A = this chain, B = another copy of it.
């Protein structure tokens, strides 16, 4: 693996002047989050699994008529465990074991809603364009092994779990799907990825089509949540619809590599949190995955067998424009973020983006603009 720096935050710590360093943090991260002080026993638990553990706090102003609505969000990022050429069942077992440890750690940290990374049960093999053996990782959303395992862990830890997997439905159609499991251990429902990439080594359109489940918001005991899976983060309308349906926290489980997307990673989920006045949780996998057969992706690169570096850097962005620092670029980790969901409405009342949004105008304009034969509004210099 090429040299990879640990995190942007670590680099910023080396700014020598105290005032300048604090000012850089303010400009880059907004209002400073508090930090959760976990007991030493929990740090030990994290260390046993070699998981980085970070905890941050977003506060809101007290209100007279509403009590605070405190929720602890967990975001877990990880590398795969075994080589991609090992038997499928062994690879799955190893990932199931790691995710069990992640759930136990999240439970010990008091996490209320935990989201795992995109397609967590498998390597991100969608670069290869080979169907077998990779589609063997696909499971039924409601009755598959990962859902059954996580239902138990959700019940045990009284924790909502979002489980992004490769789904095979009853008609043998494959989907990129997030399963939502309640803190009572019940399957609540699922959401299928709305936007499918065909860029770089992300040859996912070979595996699954655009999702057909709309923009559902899942009403849980700990808040209204939605999932914008991976490439959907590039589409502001996707983020917007989850907001219009009432989402208070939108998770963005992803798998993306440094050469393609790293400079835009801090921008998109955060912009969505600002524009829709909700919390956005960006989760990216970690490490470099190598596959048995070489592949190319029509981008002029030589045939290769690795996907490049998944750079982690998972973070939470608040409605007020502030954000947590990112997790490591290189290590497995759990990011615990305690939020007061009252901050969403307080931010709406401060900025009034929803009130000033002129949505009916845009609904009409977008309807016109997407009809064949639409004439764009173009103004030319007189006489031209």
| Interface positions of A (Cβ within 8 A of B) | 5, 8, 11-12, 14-17, 19-21, 23-24, 26-31, 180, 182, 184, 186, 188-189, 194-199, 210, 214-220, 224, 231, 234-237, 239-241, 244-246, 261-264, 266-268, 270-271, 274-275, 321-322, 350-353, 356-360, 362-367, 369-370, 376-382, 384
Q: Number of copies of this chain in the oligomer?
A: 2
The answer to whether B268 and A264 have CB atoms under 8 Å apart is no
| Structural contact, B28 and A241, CB atoms closer than 8 A | no
Task: Please tell me if the beta carbons of A379 and B216 are within 8 angstroms of each other in the complex.
Answer: yes
**A–B pairs, 29, beta carbons within 8 Å:** A5-B19, A5-B20, A14-B16, A14-B17, A184-B381, A188-B381, A195-B357, A197-B352, A199-B350, A210-B356, A214-B365, A216-B379, A217-B377, A219-B378, A219-B384, A234-B275, A235-B275, A235-B353, A235-B358, A236-B240, A237-B237, A244-B366, A244-B376, A245-B377, A263-B322, A267-B267, A359-B366, A359-B369, A363-B363
Q: Which of A14, A240, A360, A363 has the most CB of B within 10 A?
A: A363
Q: Which 3 pairs across A and B sit closest by C-beta, in order of nearness?
A: A30-B263, A236-B236, A271-B271
Taking CB atoms, residues of chain B closer than 8 Å to A27 are 8, 262-263, 266
A17 to B15, CA, bound (A): 10
Complex: A380 Cα to B199 Cα, angstroms: 35
Given contacts A15-B15, A380-B219, are A237 and B362 in contact (CB under 8 A)? Answer: yes
**Contacts A12-B24, A224-B378, A381-B188: A356 and B215 contacting too (C-beta < 8 A)?**
no
Whole-angstrom CA separation of A350 from B198 in the bound complex: 8
Q: Across the two chains, which residue of chain B brings its CB closest to A218?
A: B379
A197 to B357, CA, bound (A): 11
Please tell me if the beta carbons of A321 and B263 are within 8 angstroms of each other in the complex. Answer: yes
**B contact residues around A263 at 8 Å (CB):** 26-31, 321-322
- Please report the C-alpha to C-alpha distance between residue A15 and residue B234 in the assembled complex, in whole angstroms: 31
Residues of B within 8 A of A268 (CB): 271, 274-275
Tell which of A350, A357, A362, A365 has the most Cβ of chain B within 10 Å: A362
Contact (Cβ within 8 A) B235 A357? yes
Residues of B within 8 A of A239 (CB): 236
Complex contacts, A350 vs chain B, CB 8 Å: 199
CA distance A27 to B321 in the complex (A): 19
A240-B241 in contact (CB<8A):
no
CA distance A206 to B344 in the complex (A): 26
If A261-B321, A363-B366 touch, whether A234 touches B274 (CB-CB below 8 Å) is yes
Question: Which one of A28, A182, A271 has the highest number of Cβ atoms from chain B below 10 Å of its Cβ?
Answer: A271
On whether the beta carbons of A379 and B219 are closer than 8 Å, the reply is yes
> In the complex the two chains form, is B20's CB within 8 Å of A11's CB?
yes
For A378, the chain B residues whose CB sits under 8 A away are 216-219, 224, 245-246
CB distance from A330 to the nearest CB of B (A): 13
Tell me, in angstroms, the Cα distance from A365 to B216 when the chains sit together: 12
Query: In the docked arrangement, what's the CA distance between A5 and B262, Å?
Result: 27
Task: Tell me the bound Cα distance from A95 to B182 in angstroms.
Answer: 61
Residues of B within 8 Å of A382, CB to CB, are 186, 188
| Nearest CB in chain B: distance from A185 CB, A | 10
CA distance A14 to B19 in the complex (A): 12
Closest residue on chain B to residue A366 by CB atoms: B363
Contact for A267 among B16, B236, B274, B377, CB less than 8 A: B274
Chain B residue at smallest Cβ distance from A234: B353
